[in-house]
Amino acid sequence: MPFVLSIALALCAAACGSPTANDDLAAPDLGTPDLAEDKAAHCVADMYGSQLTNSFGRLDGTVVAVVKPSDQQCDGVNNDHVVLEVLANGGVYRMVINVLSSSAVTQVFETEIQHTLPGAAWTEGWHPTETLDYANLGTHKADFTPYDLIPLSARIADKITVDAKISVYATSSGGDSAHLVHRNKPNQDGAIVLDPTSASPTWMLFAFDNSKTF
């Protein structure tokens, strides 16, 4: 059994807390768990890390679980975000990804590209000196497709492989979690990078209807 899964299995929550509320939105339809492949099966209830700083940065680590809004059995499940649990340097970190917008258009827009990993090479841990701007990736807002909560949650889960290396660009206030994994502001745009150590990583990019044009 891979090392990451053996850790996660030992720490998986049998019965976990209630979802984090979002008071700005009406309760969305969360969908039902995917019985074909449960990528939230090894979600953790403890062992959270504390190495994220109050900054934008890139987290390099290994996927432990992908927690969709329908995965109510997991600790820290969120009703309008997908929570990507990433193991780095012995701690698990929560990368929180919007799948529902609080703007007039509630859909979240997504696209995928192939692009080399800019900046420092993949190295396990939090890298607060790394920056990202969608405008430098050769993509444009017109390339993005709008998705509702359930299809986008499923899309994210389908694309991400448990126990695989991953990089996530996000903003943290410090501790064990980071968010704003979407078009945000110059040099602080969030994204998910799959196969980050390969010659041609796949990037998952996200934006809102009212995101600044790029």
Mean pLDDT value of segment 116-123: 96
> How does the average pLDDT of the chain come out, rounded?
88
36 or 92, greater pLDDT: 92
CA distances in angstroms from 121 to 58, 59, 164, listed in the order given = 11, 12, 16
- Residue 126 is predicted with a pLDDT of 98
pLDDT digits (tens, 9 = 90+) for 152-176: 999 999 999 999 999 999 999 999 9
Q: What is the DSSP letter of 122?
A: P
* Cα separation, 144 vs 17, whole angstroms: 34
Rounded Cα gap, residues 31 and 193, in angstroms: 26
**pLDDT recorded at residue 30:** 60
> Model confidence over 95-110: pLDDT tens digits?
999 999 999 999 999 9
**For residues 189-202, average pLDDT:** 98
* Position 37 confidence tier, pLDDT thresholds 50, 70, 90: confident
Q: What is the pTM of this model?
A: 0.84
Q: What is the mean pLDDT of residues 39-54?
A: 96
Task: Give the pLDDT score at 186.
Answer: 92
Q: Which residues contact 110 (CB under 8 A, 6 or more apart)?
A: 144, 145, 147, 152, 155, 204, 205, 206, 207
Write the DSSP assignment of 72-99 as a string of letters. Answer: TTSTT-BTTEEEEEEEETTEEEEEEEES
What DSSP state is assigned to residue 39? T
Write down the pLDDT at residue 212: 84
Q: What percent of the chain has pLDDT over 90?
A: 80
Over 90: is that where the pLDDT of 17 sits? no
